[in-house]
Structure 1
C-alpha cells in the first residue's frame, strides 16, 4: 500500500509543479507572483494532513495523501522559482546549496519527528500539518516578494487559447535545457535505484538477513549527513570559480564509481563505503545542478513553469528507478545487477551535461 500511495503521490507532484509554476508566472498581486501559491498550498495542506491522522479508511487516506502531495507540490514549484527571480547568477551555487540543505534537513527532521510522535497519530499529524503554513508564512515577514501588479504581461501570457503549448520547449532552439533535463533524470535514476531498495540490498546482497532492519536508519543517517557535508562547500566553490559543468560531471562519475563498490566488496563495510561516496557526490550534484538548471531556463517570464518541467526529471526517477530495479531482480533472481546498471545511468548523466554549451 505504501508503494501504491507513493506512486500516486509522485504522479500528483509531476502534474502540480509545472501547472502551479505556469499559473504563478502569470499571477499579478500585491504579494507578488510566488507567495499566493507558496502560502496558499501550505495552508490547504494543513487540514488535509490533520484529517490523515483521524481516518480509518485506506481509500480516504489515499485520497488525502495524494491531495497533500498535490497542494504541497503546487507550493514547491513556485517556491523554486524564487532562486532565478531574486538571486544573481554568480551567487546561485550557494543559494542552491541552501535549498538542498533545506530538503535534507526537512527529510531528517521529518523522520525524527515521525518516530517521536508515532505513539499518537492524532498529535503526529496535528504537528506535521502546522509546519508548512508556519514556515511558508514566515516568508511574508523575512523575505516578502515584491508587488508585481504593474508588471507588463508578455505576449506568451496573453495567448490563453494556446496556453498548453507554453509547456513545450523546442530541443532545436533550446538544446541546453534538454541536456540538463536528461542529465538530471539519468543521475537521479542511478541514485534512486539503490536508495529505494536499501533494506533488501542489506538483507540479500550483503547477507544481513533480519538484522538488516537495524542498519537501514544508520545507512540513511549516514547518507543525510554526507549530503549535507558536501552540499554547501560545492555550491560556494562553484560560485567562486564560475563553473558548473565540471562539478556536475565529476559528481556523477564519482557516484558511478561508488555504486560499484558493493559489487566488488559485498560486505557491510563495502555497502557503507558506497553510501558515503555516493551521498557526498549526490550532495555536490544536487547543489550545483540546481544552480546550473537556473542558467538554462529558456524564458525569463516563465521561470516557475520551466523549473516545474525540469523538476519532472527529479520526481520521475523516484517512480521509474524502483520499478526498473525490481524488474532486474525478478529477471535475474539477484540484486547484483542493480549496481552496475545504476552506475551506468549516473555516468551517462555526467556525460550528458558536457553537451551544455551556454554554461561553463
Structure 2
C-alpha cells in the first residue's frame, strides 16, 4: 500500500511501496512529539514538582506508587486498545478512531492530575491518564507494521525515533521552564496531548478498513487478540525484555534527575532548573543527530541487532558516569553519552520489533505489549531507584543502572530470527 492507495490491505510489500512514505513518517514524527512530550514533560519534571507540594516528606515513595500503579494500568490498556484497534472496521481505518479518542481522554485526565489536591486523587487520575494514553501509543506504532514496507522500516523507525527524541527531551526542556509555575506547564503539555491524535490522523489519511475480513467472536479469536503471544514468540520475548532492561536503566536516572540534582548534587532551585534544561538539550541533540543516521544505515546493511547492542552499551556507560562524582558536570556527560545511545537504539528498535512479531494480524496488540517495555522501564526504573535511595542513598543508582543496560544488550544478542 503506498500513500495514495485508498484500499485497505493486510500487509505492505516492497513492490507496493517503492517510494519512502514521507507523509506517514511525518504523522509518526508529529504524533509522538506531542503525546510523548506531554507525557515525559509531566512525568519527569512537573509531576515530581507537584508531589513535593502535596507531601515533600514522602516524595520518593509517592513517585514509586505512581510509577507502579501506572505500570499495572498500562499493561492492561496496551492489550485492550491494541487488540481493539486490530479488530476495528471503520470508514476511518483501524487506528485513527483510537488515537483521536485517546488524545482527548488523556488530555481531560491530565486536567484532573493538575487540579489534584491530595495524593489519593493524584494517583487515581494518573492511572486514568495512563489508561487512555495507551489508546494513542499502541495504534500509532502499529502503523509501522500496517503501512510501511520492509525496505523502509529502518528509515521510518528513524522518523519515529527522531520524533521520540524531540518529545522525550523537548517535553522535559519545556517543562523545566515552568518549575515555578507548575500549573501553567501542565496546561501547555495538556494542549500538546490533546493535539497529538487529531494531527497524526489528518496526516495518516488511513484507508477505510470496512473491507477487512470480519472476525467471528470465538474463544480462539479472544485468545489470539487479547492474550500474550505463545507460539513462535521466543525472539519476541527476548526483544521485549531487552528493551525493558534498557528503558529501566535510562529511567532509573532520568526519572529521578530532579532529586539527583537537588539531593545528590546539592544544587539550589535556580541551578537545578538550569541543569535540567542542559541535560534535556544535550540528550535531545545527541539523540536527534544519531537517530537520523542509524536507521537508514540499518536499512542499507540489512541488520538490526548490532546497532541496538552498541546503543545499549553506550547507555550503560552514560548512566554510570555520575557515580564517579556528585559534581553536576557528570550528569551533563551522562546526557551526551546516553543521548547518543538512546538515539541509536530508538532509530532501529521498532524495526527490530516489527520483524520479531509472531503474527501480523495482531500487530497493534503485540507491539502494544512490546511498548510496555518502554512504559514498564519508565516505571520500574524509578521504583528501583527509590529502593536504592531508601536503602543506601543516591550514589549506587548509577552502577546498578549500568548493569541493567548490559543485561538488555545480552538479551538482544540472543535473538536468532533477525540479523
Q: Same fold (TM over 0.5)?
A: yes
1:78 aligns to 2:139 (yes or no): yes
Deviation at 1:321, TM superposition (A): 1.9
Is the CA contact (8 Å cut-off) linking 1:189 and 1:320 kept in structure 2?
yes
Separation of aligned partners in 1, 2:385 and 2:404: 12
Distance 1:68 1:249, change over 3 A: same
Deviation at 1:266, TM superposition (A): 5.2
Separation of aligned partners in 2, 1:23 and 1:95: 24
Alignment of 1:68-217 (within 5 A): 68-111=129-172, 114=175, 115=177, 119=181, 121=183, 128-153=189-214, 158-160=217-219, 163-164=222-223, 166=225, 167-170=227-230, 173-203=232-262, 205=264, 207-210=265-268, 213-214=272-273, 215-217=275-277
Aligned counterpart, 1:298? 358
Distance 1:327 1:239, change over 3 A: same
Query: What SS does the corresponding residue of 2:415 show, helix, strand or coil?
Result: coil
Which of residues 16, 19, 30 is equivalent to 2:77?
16
Separation of aligned partners in 1, 2:258 and 2:190: 29
Separation of aligned partners in 2, 1:113 and 1:192: 19
Q: Which moved more, 1:318-327 or 1:124-133?
A: 124-133
Aligned counterpart, 2:31? none
Is the CA contact (8 Å cut-off) linking 1:31 and 1:147 kept in structure 2?
yes
Deviation at 1:153, TM superposition (A): 3.7
Is the CA contact (8 Å cut-off) linking 1:297 and 1:303 kept in structure 2?
yes
Separation of aligned partners in 1, 2:298 and 2:257: 31
Aligned counterpart, 1:224? 284
Separation of aligned partners in 1, 2:186 and 2:248: 31
Count matched residues.
354
Aligned counterpart, 2:22? none
TM-score, normalised via structure 2 length: 0.75
Structure 1 unaligned regions, length at least 5: none
Separation of aligned partners in 2, 1:98 and 1:261: 29
Query: What SS does the corresponding residue of 1:68 show, helix, strand or coil?
Result: helix
Distance 1:276 1:26, change over 3 A: same
Deviation at 1:86, TM superposition (A): 0.6
Deviation at 1:44, TM superposition (A): 2.8
Q: CA RMSD in A?
A: 2.8
Distance 1:7 1:298, change over 3 A: same
Query: What SS does the corresponding residue of 2:289 show, helix, strand or coil?
Result: helix
1:43 aligns to 2:143 (yes or no): no
* Cα offsets for 1:235-269 (capped at 9, x unmatched): 12111211110000111112223333333455433
Deviation at 1:24, TM superposition (A): 0.8
Aligned counterpart, 2:342? 282
Which of residues 317, 320, 326 is equivalent to 2:377?
317
Aligned counterpart, 2:48? none
Aligned counterpart, 2:317? 257
Deviation at 1:280, TM superposition (A): 0.7
1:335 aligns to 2:394 (yes or no): yes
